[in-house]
Amino acid sequence: MVKNGISLYICTKLFFMTLIKSISGIRGTIGGAVDENLTPIDAVKFAAAYGTWIKQQRRKDNYRVVVGRDARISGEMIQNLVMHTLVGLGIHVVDLGLSTTPTVEIAVPMEHADGGIILTASHNPKQWNALKLLNAKGEFLNGEEGEKILNIADSNAMEFSEVDDLGKITVNDAYIDLHIDEVLKLPLVNKKAIEAANFKVVVDGVNSTGGIAIPLLLERLGVEPVKLYCDPTGHFPHNPEPLKEHLGDLAKAVVKERADFGIVVDPDVDRLAFMDETGEMFGEEYTLVACADYVLSKTPGNTVSNMSSTRALRDVTEKHGGTYEASAVGEVNVVTLMKKNNVVIGGEGNGGIIYPESHYGRDALVGVALFLSLLAEKEMTVSALRASYPNYFMSKKKIQLTPGLDVDGILKTMEANYSHEKLTTIDGVKIDFADSWVHLRKSNTEPIIRIYTEAPTQEAADTLADRFIAEIKTIANL
């Protein structure tokens, strides 16, 4: 269950079930049977286990936990269950209501809280929701902490408070504005240059809380936002993962509005992707590359991303005289290596910017402000900026897990088959070829095997991915 002391992945019963327990919490589909989906009983059980773990950290008179959610249809129901469970444990709750993952992360230390819970399934479709769990620093739990919470839940080792000792709920809906204040205080955010550039930007908020936060940030920076799907109803107008194939409406809007570029975020606003002025994707992998280029030009240092991220970050880091290193996939793994290497910026190739000057969490608001600062100072179009970076192409594919599929056995076979190549096995199997690579791993968020490749052309990346999918199917007799 715990690999290398950090990563933890457990599915109830078989991998194809839709209740997934990981280091950052519990994720599942709404409805269905208990222990197989994210039902109200499961939400209460794991909220109680988390609250019990919070109280075990140290003895004190008052405990406080920050809770916020994205705009998912199930969000209000799950949040009420979670908050009142914590109240039953004698824990005081700061209710942020509709919020973003990075907003909750910064609110935890600002509130001097003992932890935080974000109700969001990130990029997953609307039928999913999750409890993402934070420590007192507003950072995701490590493997050891996550395992303790799962053990508490499995053993029902929760003891609730008597009536005179119940917690209270305090509503605070100011934190998105406070989050924006913190972003604008960052020394590298060049508000003056951004205002002078008179940018016009189309924002696809996928009808979640990014539709609240991103336009507010742009307005504070003197940018004209054009809102697309910014009504936080939780009815996602397209697949909420910010990939090219889901963003046809954004491409049309950018061209029609003659905007400088487009912005799209996932439902909880920790992933960020850009679209250039012609309606072409900047590439979510290059969100981190561009932001790192800007930060490294001002504050030279090292970088970290995960093993499934583009080599372009390594190239840009070395251009600025720094050192790049890759971690296992998962925000907590990236943050752990970032701290170890004392990096100035890091993140994940899925559009996740982690800027320690702000906080150790993926933050689309920070990413937007850094990207705008870079663009304003360079005085160039987004398409020209993209053309200035090393050109790599990625293919991101997956295989759905089925009952009885021996994923670990498949990965061991692939490792043996390619033992003559440069291999990394801290997270699945990554095979580095001379001009390309492939990364095979079990997902932490969905019952799938991910197959990520990168090569000098899109055709080569797709061909490489298809080749490995065929090899996996042969090994598994699929």
pLDDT of residue 4: 30
pLDDT score at 477:
82
Q: Are residues 200 and 257 in the same domain?
A: yes
DSSP code string of 344-387: SEEEETTTEEEBTTTBSS--HHHHHHHHHHHHHHHT--HHHHHH
**Is residue 8 a part of any domain in this protein?**
no
| Helix, strand or coil, per DSSP, at residue 296 | helix
Active-site residue, selected from the candidate residues 74, 122, 327, 373: 122
CA separation for the pair 385, 392 (Å, rounded): 15
Query: In terms of domains, do 296 and 402 share one?
Result: no
Q: 354 and 302, same structural domain? A: yes
User: Residue 402 has what pLDDT?
Assistant: 80
Residues 150 and 258 in one domain: no
Tell me: do 55 and 84 sit in the same domain.
Answer: yes
> 286 and 254: one domain?
yes
Task: Let me know if 378 is exposed, middle or buried by CB neighbors in 10 A (0-12, 13-18, 19+).
Answer: middle
Asked if residue 292 has pLDDT above 90, the reply is yes
Residues of the chain above pLDDT 70, percent: 96
Q: State the first-to-last Cα distance of the chain, in angstroms, to the nearest integer.
A: 26
Is the Cα dihedral 370, 238, 121, 116 positive or negative? Answer: positive
pLDDT of residue 13: 32
State the average pLDDT over residues 397-418. 90
Residue 157 belongs to a domain: yes
Q: In the prediction, which pLDDT does 229 show?
A: 98
For residue 449, the SS3 value is strand
Contact 394, 454 (CB under 8 A): yes
Instruction: Please indicate, yes or no, whether residues 384 and 398 belong to a single structural domain of this protein.
Output: no
Of the pLDDT bands very low, low, confident and very high (cuts 50, 70, 90), residue 11 is very low
Count CB neighbours of 374 within 10 A: 22
Tokens 């935080």 label which residue? 116
Q: pLDDT tens digit string along 241-276? A: 988 899 999 999 999 999 999 999 999 999 999 999
- Clarify whether residues 349 and 398 are in a common domain: no
CA distance 478 to 475: 8
Query: Do both 257 and 224 map to the same domain?
Result: yes
Q: What is the predicted pLDDT for the residue at 24?
A: 57
Q: What string of H, E and C letters represents the secondary structure of 65-134?
A: EEEEECCCCCHHHHHHHHHHHHHHCCEEEEEEEECCHHHHHHHHHHCCCCEEEEECCCCCCCCEEEEEEE
Asked whether residue 132 falls in the same domain as residue 227, the answer is no
- Write the pLDDT tens digit of every residue in 306-362: 999 999 999 999 999 999 999 999 899 999 999 999 999 999 999 999 999 999 999
Q: How many domains, the chain?
A: 3
Question: Contact at 8 Å (CB) between 105 and 138?
Answer: yes
Domain edge (last residue) among 329, 353, 388: 388
pLDDT, residue 434, reads 92
**Among the three residues 359, 388, 417, which one is the final residue of a domain in this structure?**
388
Task: Give the residue among 440, 443, 438 at the shortest CA–CA distance from 460.
Answer: 438
Q: How many helices (H) and strands (E) does the chain have?
A: 15, 22
- Is pLDDT at 133 greater than 60 in this prediction? yes
How far apart (Å, rounded) are the C-alpha atoms in residues 42 and 39?
5
pLDDT bin (cut points 50, 70, 90) of residue 23 is low
Mean pLDDT of 364-386: 98
Among 284-288, 304-308, 445-449, the range scoring the smallest mean pLDDT is 445-449
- 433 and 302 in a common domain: no
pLDDT at 142 exceeding the cut of 50: yes
Residue 447 domain boundaries: 393-476
Q: Give dist(CA 68, CA 116) in Å, integer.
A: 8
What integer is the mean pLDDT of 438-450? Answer: 86
The average pLDDT across 203-221 equals 98
The predicted-structure confidence for 39-81, as pLDDT tens digits, reads as follows 999 999 999 999 999 999 989 999 999 999 999 999 999 999 9
**Token output for 155:** 């053993």
pLDDT greater than 90 at residue 14: no
pLDDT tens for residues 456-470? 999 999 999 999 999
72 touches 122 (CB < 8 A):
no
Q: Model pTM?
A: 0.91
Is 7 tagged catalytic? no
Does residue 5 carry a pLDDT above 80?
no
Q: Are residues 307 and 218 in the same domain?
A: yes
pLDDT, position 343: 98
